[in-house]
Structures are given as C-alpha cells and as structure tokens.
C-alpha cells in the first residue's frame, strides 16, 4: 500500500534519511523506533509531504507522493496525521475541529459532518466534550480529539508522530488504547513511538532506525527477543535496564 | 478657556461647513476612518505577501515595507503632494495626497504587526491544517488569521490610534483637519495659544481613548464568545468538581 524506495534527504551536509527502502501492507501496523535524532519523525513527515525528499520515491496506492503533478491537498486528505503536540485549533470547539476539514475539503454538509464527528467522538470516549474548547481538555483528551479529527477524513492510512511523547504518564494509556482499537479494526498504521509495550503488543512489524537508516525490520517478537543488528541489540538491552 | 470654546467650537468641529469646506474634527475623523478602512486590507494583503510561498511576492512586499518604514512621514507627504503632480502632470488635492500617503505608510506598519502575529502562531497549526488536506488559502483564512488577528488586537489598536494622530500631519500641506483648524484659530486669537492647543490635545485624546475603549469592549465580547478566558475555565472546573 505504502512503498518507500531509496529515499534520501539531506539537511545541508547532514544526511537525514539514508537509502530508506521499505513498505507497509494494507492493514499492517508498523512501529518505527530508534534513538532520538535517528530520523524517525523526518521519515514519517515525508510520507504526507510535510518534508521534501531529495532522492528516491514514496508511493501510496501506486500514486507518487512527491511528484510535482500530484495534488498535495488531495493526497493529504487520504493520509491521517497525528502530531506529538496535538495541534488542535484553539479557536474552534472540539466538534468544529473535527468537522472543519470534512466540510471544507470533502464538501460534506454540516449535519453529515456533525453526525460523523459525534460518532467518532464517542469512539474515542469523548462524546460529552463536543462543545468544549481544546484548552479545556487534558493532554490525553486533546490527543484523542486529534485522532478523531484525522479519522473524520476517512483516510485509508494513519500516521502517528510520537503521539504520546508530550503527555503526562497517566494519560498515555487512554491514547494508546484508542490506537489499539484502531489497529484491531484493521486500520493501516505507521507509528513513531517510544512506547515499546505498544510496539510489542500491537505492531505487526518494527522498523529500527539509527542515523537516518532503517537497520532492522522484523516482527516484534524477533525484534525484542533476538534482534539481528548490533545497534538494535544494544538498543534493546538498554531498554531492559 | 470656555470663551475660546464657545466662540470657536463650531469651527474646530466642522470647519467652515456648510458655507465653506468641511474641516476640523469632522475632517480628521473622515481621514481616520477612510485611512483605517483602506490601510487595514492593504496591510493584510501585504502581510500575506510577506509570508507567501512565492519569493517574488515576499521580496516586492519586503522592499515596500522597508522603504515606507525608513522614510519620515513628512517626507512622503511632500513627495506625494509636490512630486507626484510634477511626474504625472496632474494636480493632486491636498486631501487625496494626505489620505493616500497615510494609507501607504500605515499599511506598511500594519503589515508588520500582522506578519508578526502570523509568525507567532505555532508552526503546528499550519501543518495540522495542511495535513487534513486544506489548501493554503483555506488554512490562512480559517485557521491562521482568526487566531492571529485576535492575538494581535492590542498591537493593531496601537496602529489605529497612531493613524488618527498621524492625520495631524496634514497640517504641513494645509489640509484643514483638526490641527490646521486649531492653528487658524490660534492665528486669529493671537494671545491664547495655551487654551487653543490644550483644547486640541484634549480632542485628540477623547477620540483616541474612545477608539481604545471600543476595541477593548470588542475584544472582551469576542473572547467571551469563542475562547474561554481563564476565569471562565475556573468556573467550568469548579462546577465539574
């Protein structure tokens, strides 16, 4: 469904992404992990073109993401993206946050968009918060609204860029459980996270990145018990301590 | 003091209208309102050019802003009043010269206020909106400007008050606005400069103070309607407990 081929990116002289070749199948949950500065966030941001790439290609369902001919808005409307900092629109209520893009981009009517938003809100456990404003919500609640907002576009694939890293520890669980239920429903997901419990429990595959390259791509059992690459080995053993 | 007011109030308020040209406070208000109504949209447009993704727009608007801000207002007034007729061969009325100059000059300052407001928003707001498939224009209109214009209300107000006071510079090209009218009164009375110019200062103060109070009122109303204040939040939290 999603295929990356020899993707390279530089920031000046710094080689941020090194020959990334990988793919994500439909319905698959891929967790991207690795030390800070390894290029995980850069990688996930290239997939909806928040970052450009210098060499290689990324295709989503056969369409070339970084082609100049590609309508970037149409492309992005098919890729759900969840940010570390939630990025809800503070001047809009929760329900308005969720309805904005479906109405303006997909051309849905207000009632249609609101019905869908209401069902998404109850799905993330926030049915009673529709008229609240983002700053009235806790971090965990805001992130769940952000997930609902992304889902409202009915994207075939969801990208998560460290969705729990900005949360208080006690709020991580509520966000992860929403993500788990999404995974269970067969959503194609790519997830940059430091939550190794989530990776182990939910993911179909783990990509381990360091210095801009994917060093290892394996199923979670293999990755956590018997990683091949020496760098992954030391990463795993550091996790245990 | 009261004697000065009694005999000259009418002239100070409306000039020699209806038997002669409109002037005094009325003309100052007309200049201010027209200036505000024209300078704000122009400033907004310039600000959008300053942050536009096209280099040409950024450079051209940047040059305009730096030139306008690097030259004293009096210089610009002289140019448009004396130089423009020379170059074009058409006479420019003092009123038109003053209004156009004020609009251009103020729009450069407004532009920078608005640009600063846009730049001050977290980048994530822009990215979140674009990630949902919203176009650049939709993002600016529905996500960026509603937030940044509200945040910059105090600075915008400062510029508007500045515009009202800047109309007094019409004095140098004999536009018979408030300051010019006061000077005429002073010339005819000869012995009462303190009273006349105190009255002049007081009039400007009343106008500018009303403007400030009006905008503050507006600000409170908007914030009550959309963005809950901390006080309102505390009420919500208290009732939740």
Tens digits of residue pLDDT in B13-39? 888 888 888 888 999 999 999 999 999
Q: For A136-174, write each residue's pLDDT tens digit.
A: 999 999 999 999 999 999 999 999 999 999 999 999 999
As for how many domains chain B has, the answer is: 1
Taking contacts as CB-CB distances below 8 angstroms, the residues of chain A near B236 are 136
Inspect the interface and report whether the beta carbons of A83 and B236 lie closer than 8 Å: no
Inspect the interface and report whether the beta carbons of A104 and B142 lie closer than 8 Å: yes
Q: What is the pLDDT of residue B131?
A: 97
Q: What is the pLDDT of residue B11?
A: 87
User: How many A/B residue pairs have CB atoms within 8 Å?
Assistant: 72
Tell me the residue range of the domain where B110 lies: 2-240
For range B48-65, the mean pLDDT: 96
Q: What is the pLDDT of residue B16?
A: 82
Q: Report the percent of chain B where pLDDT is more than 90.
A: 64
Residue of B nearest to A85 (CA): B124
For range A200-227, the mean pLDDT: 94
CA atoms within 13 A on the CB side of B153: 17
For chain B, the average pLDDT equals: 89
Rounded to whole angstroms, the Cα distance separating B71 from B153 reads 26
* Tokens found for residue A126: 């926030």
Q: For B220-232, write each residue's pLDDT tens digit.
A: 887 766 555 444 4
Class of residue B101 by CB neighbours under 10 A (exposed 0-12, middle 13-18, buried 19+):
buried
Q: With contact defined as beta carbons under 8 Å apart, do B178 and B27 qualify?
A: yes
For range B190-216, the mean pLDDT: 91
In this model, does residue A22 exceed pLDDT 90? yes
In this model, does residue B123 exceed pLDDT 60? yes
Q: What is the pLDDT of residue B241?
A: 39
* Phi/psi at A216 (5° precision): -150, 140
Taking contacts as CB-CB distances below 8 angstroms, the residues of chain B near A91 are 146-147, 150, 226-227
CA atoms within 13 A on the CB side of B149: 16
With an 8 Å Cβ cutoff, the interface of chain A facing chain B consists of: 48, 50, 73-79, 81, 83, 85, 87-91, 100-101, 104-105, 133, 135-136, 146, 149-150, 153
Q: With contact defined as beta carbons under 8 Å apart, do A115 and B208 qualify?
A: no
Class of residue B16 by CB neighbours under 10 A (exposed 0-12, middle 13-18, buried 19+):
middle
Which ranges of chain A would DSSP assign to H, the alpha helix? Answer: 40-47, 72-77, 94-104, 110-123, 139-151, 169-184, 196-202, 220-225, 230-240
Q: For B151-197, write each residue's pLDDT tens digit.
A: 998 899 989 999 999 999 999 998 989 999 999 899 988 888 998 89
Q: What is the pLDDT of residue B234?
A: 45
Q: Quote the DSSP letter at residue A109.
A: -
Closest CA to B150 of B65, B223, B42: B223
CATH value at residue B227: 1.10.3720.10
The residue behind tokens 């609009």 is: B103
Q: Report the percent of chain A where pLDDT is more than 90.
A: 97
Closest CA to A171 of A137, A199, A133: A137
Q: What is the pLDDT of residue B237?
A: 47
Q: With contact defined as beta carbons under 8 Å apart, do B31 and B167 qualify?
A: yes
Distance (Å) from the alpha carbon of B131 to chain A's nearest alpha carbon = 5
With an 8 Å Cβ cutoff, the interface of chain B facing chain A consists of: 122, 124-125, 127-135, 138, 142-143, 146-147, 150, 226-228, 233, 236
Q: For A72-101, write each residue's pLDDT tens digit.
A: 999 999 999 999 999 999 999 999 999 999
Distance (Å) from the alpha carbon of B33 to chain A's nearest alpha carbon = 29
């Amino acid at each position: 469904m999603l295929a990356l081929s020899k993707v390279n990116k530089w920031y000046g002289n710094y080689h941020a992404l090194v020959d990334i070749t990988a793919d994500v199948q439909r319905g698959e949950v891929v967790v991207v992990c690795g030390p800070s500065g390894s290029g995980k966030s850069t990688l996930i941001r290239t997939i909806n073109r928040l970052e450009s790439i210098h060499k290689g290609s990324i295709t989503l369902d056969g369409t070339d993401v970084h082609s100049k001919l590609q309508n970037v808005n149409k492309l992005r409307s098919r890729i759900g993206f969840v940010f570390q900092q939630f990025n809800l629109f503070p001047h809009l209520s929760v329900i308005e946050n969720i309805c904005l893009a479906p109405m303006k981009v997909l051309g849905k009517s207000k009632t249609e968009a609101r019905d869908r938003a209401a069902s998404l809100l109850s799905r993330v456990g926030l049915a009673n918060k529709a008229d609240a404003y983002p700053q009235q919500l806790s971090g965990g609640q805001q992130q769940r609204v952000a997930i609902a907002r992304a889902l409202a576009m009915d994207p075939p694939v969801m990208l998560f860029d460290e969705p729990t890293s900005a949360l208080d520890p006690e709020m991580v669980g509520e966000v992860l459980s929403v993500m788990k239920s999404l995974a269970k429903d067969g959503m194609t997901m790519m997830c940059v996270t430091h939550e190794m419990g989530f990776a182990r429990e939910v993911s179909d595959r783990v990509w381990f990145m360091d210095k801009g390259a994917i060093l290892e791509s394996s199923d979670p059992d293999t990755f956590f018990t018997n990683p091949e690459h020496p760098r992954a080995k030391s990463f795993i053993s550091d996790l245990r301590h | 003091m009261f004697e000065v007011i009694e005999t000259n109030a009418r002239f100070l308020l409306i000039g020699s209208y209806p038997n002669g040209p409109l002037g005094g406070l009325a003309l100052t208000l007309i200049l201010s309102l027209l200036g505000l109504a024209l300078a704000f949209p122009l400033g907004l447009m310039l600000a959008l050019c300053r942050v536009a993704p096209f280099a040409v727009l950024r450079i051209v608007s940047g040059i305009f802003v730096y030139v306008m801000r690097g030259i004293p207002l009096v210089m610009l007034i002289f140019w448009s009043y004396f130089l423009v007729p020379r170059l074009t061969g058409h006479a420019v009325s003092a009123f038109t010269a003053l209004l156009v100059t004020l609009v251009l000059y103020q729009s450069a300052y407004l532009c920078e206020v608005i640009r600063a407001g846009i730049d001050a928003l977290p980048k994530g707001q822009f990215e979140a909106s674009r990630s949902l498939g919203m176009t650049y224009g939709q993002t600016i209109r529905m996500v960026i400007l509603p937030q940044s214009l509200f945040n910059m209300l105090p600075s915008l107000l400062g510029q508007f008050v500045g515009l009202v006071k800047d109309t007094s510079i019409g004095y140098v090209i004999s536009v018979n606005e408030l300051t010019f009218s006061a000077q005429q009164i002073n010339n005819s009375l000869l012995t009462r400069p303190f009273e006349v110019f105190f009255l002049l200062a007081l009039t400007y103060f009343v106008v500018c103070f009303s403007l400030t109070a009006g905008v503050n009122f507006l600000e409170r109303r908007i914030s009550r309607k959309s963005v809950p204040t901390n006080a309102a939040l505390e009420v919500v939290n208290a009732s939740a407990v």
